Amino acid sequence: MADTAYAGRVTVVHGDRNPGSHPLRAAHLGLTARLREADAHFWYEESDAAGPGALTGRVGLKPVTVDPGTRAYLCGPLPFMRSVREQLLEQGARAADTHYEVFGPDLWPASAERTG
């Protein structure tokens, strides 16, 4: 998006334990800064490590504007994605416009053992 001078609104949301465990933090900040209408929101569970501009705790979308027609791309563990999806729907995003990629333990082996 930054390389193609994308002109639409982009919001980056990330939750982590602390800035040191936040992969690609510098890239998130740098790429967001290159976009015309973009901002980044970071939440860190460890309050003493949050730093300027970051929020403490788990991701909560109340301070984030969710525009009509928002397309959301979620990645992370299932509990995180369920929480963020619910918050997006509460703010008017459409379920059909929310896309997922699971990061975390593979759920297939457990379900395969039960069926098989």
pLDDT at residue 91, rounded to an integer: 94
What are the structural domains of the chain?
A: 1-59 (no CATH), 64-116 (3.40.50.80)
Average pLDDT over residues 11-33: 90
Task: Categorize the per-residue pLDDT at 13 as very low, low, confident or very high, splitting at 50, 70 and 90.
Answer: very high
pLDDT at residue 95, rounded to an integer: 96
Average predicted confidence (pLDDT) for the chain: 85
Average pLDDT over residues 58-76: 92
Q: Residue 110: is its pLDDT beyond 60?
A: no
CB count in 10 Å sphere of residue 48: 8
Q: Using an 8 Å Cβ cutoff, are 46 and 18 in contact?
A: yes
